[in-house]
């Protein structure tokens, strides 16, 4: 179905259309937020908040870009608000710095990449996750994070370079370890 039509159906209160939106995009939005927060429950809460906001703001979707990019823009904002709340939230229950939950990423490579991404500037991390993992074009990523295309390209370049250095450093440590064992 055409995305603009789907959006308008949601705006008219069509629950089936809302379900369709969730079915099509929930996993991607959740995955993105899980990689950013590295916390299952927070990612689920943020994804829920993102879709609630999407439902309320769906009338503002004009079909200029993809509905997926529009949703990720909302998810990005939810995440930035969440990150700030994690830093300052005097009335909330005890908050902790987000950490990887045990067993969250069983795959070694994924765990390595999330660790390495955590060392990057948040803007570089955002751009990398959106472009490399979620598959958005550079132009779409620029719209989602509300930055110029050139800036996003620069962030992507720096992100890859720094990740490459992180991998090289890891290899260096492993080699040293092996030499020591020999």
Of the candidates 117, 128, 116, the one whose C-alpha atom is nearest the C-alpha of residue 154 is: 128
Query: Of 146 and 182, which has the nearer Cβ to another protein?
Result: 146
Our finding on whether 167 is near another protein (CB under 8 A) is yes
Our finding on whether 103 is near another protein (CB under 8 A) is no
Which of 101, 118, 122, 157 binds another protein (CB under 8 A)? It is 122
Query: Of 107 and 181, which has the nearer Cβ to another protein?
Result: 107
Distance separating the N- and C-terminal Cα atoms of the chain: 62
Our finding on whether 85 is near another protein (CB under 8 A) is yes
Distance CA 174, CA 129 (A): 27
- Window 21-80: residues binding another protein (CB under 8 A): 22-23, 26-27, 30-31, 34-35, 40, 44, 47-48, 51-52, 55-57, 59-60, 62, 77, 80
Query: Of 167 and 173, which has the nearer Cβ to another protein?
Result: 167
With b meaning 16 or more CB within 10 Å and e meaning fewer, what string describes 3-17?
beebbbbbbeeeeeb
How many positions of this chain bind another protein (CB under 8 A)?
Answer: 71
46: CB partners within 8 A, 6+ apart: 33, 37, 75, 78, 79, 82
The nearest distance, CB 82 to another protein, in angstroms, is 9
Our finding on whether 151 is near another protein (CB under 8 A) is yes
168: CB partners within 8 A, 6+ apart: none
**What is each CA distance from 58 to 5, 39, 64, 78, 85, in whole angstroms?**
11, 27, 13, 16, 25
Distance CA 107, CA 139 (A): 30
Our finding on whether 157 is near another protein (CB under 8 A) is no
Query: Of 18 and 138, which has the nearer Cβ to another protein?
Result: 18
Our finding on whether 89 is near another protein (CB under 8 A) is yes
Query: Of 31 and 98, which has the nearer Cβ to another protein?
Result: 31
């Amino acid at each position: 179905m055409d995305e603009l039509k789907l959006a308008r159906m949601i705006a008219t209160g069509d629950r089936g259309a809302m379900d369709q939106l969730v079915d099509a995009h929930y996993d991607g939005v959740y995955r993105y937020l899980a990689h950013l927060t590295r916390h299952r429950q927070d990612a689920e809460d943020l994804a829920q908040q993102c879709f609630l906001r999407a439902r309320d703001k769906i009338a503002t979707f004009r079909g200029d870009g993809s509905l997926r990019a529009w949703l990720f823009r909302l998810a990005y904002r939810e995440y930035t608000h969440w990150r700030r709340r994690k830093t300052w939230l005097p009335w909330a229950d005890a908050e902790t710095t987000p950490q990887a939950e045990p067993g969250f990423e069983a795959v070694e490579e994924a765990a390595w990449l999330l660790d390495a991404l955590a060392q990057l500037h948040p803007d570089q991390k955002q751009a990398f996750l959106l472009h490399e993992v979620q598959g958005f074009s550079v132009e779409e990523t620029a719209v989602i994070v509300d930055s110029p295309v050139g800036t996003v390209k620069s962030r992507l370049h720096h992100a890859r370079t720094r990740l490459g250095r992180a991998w090289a450093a890891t290899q260096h440590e492993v080699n040293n370890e092996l030499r020591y064992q020999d």
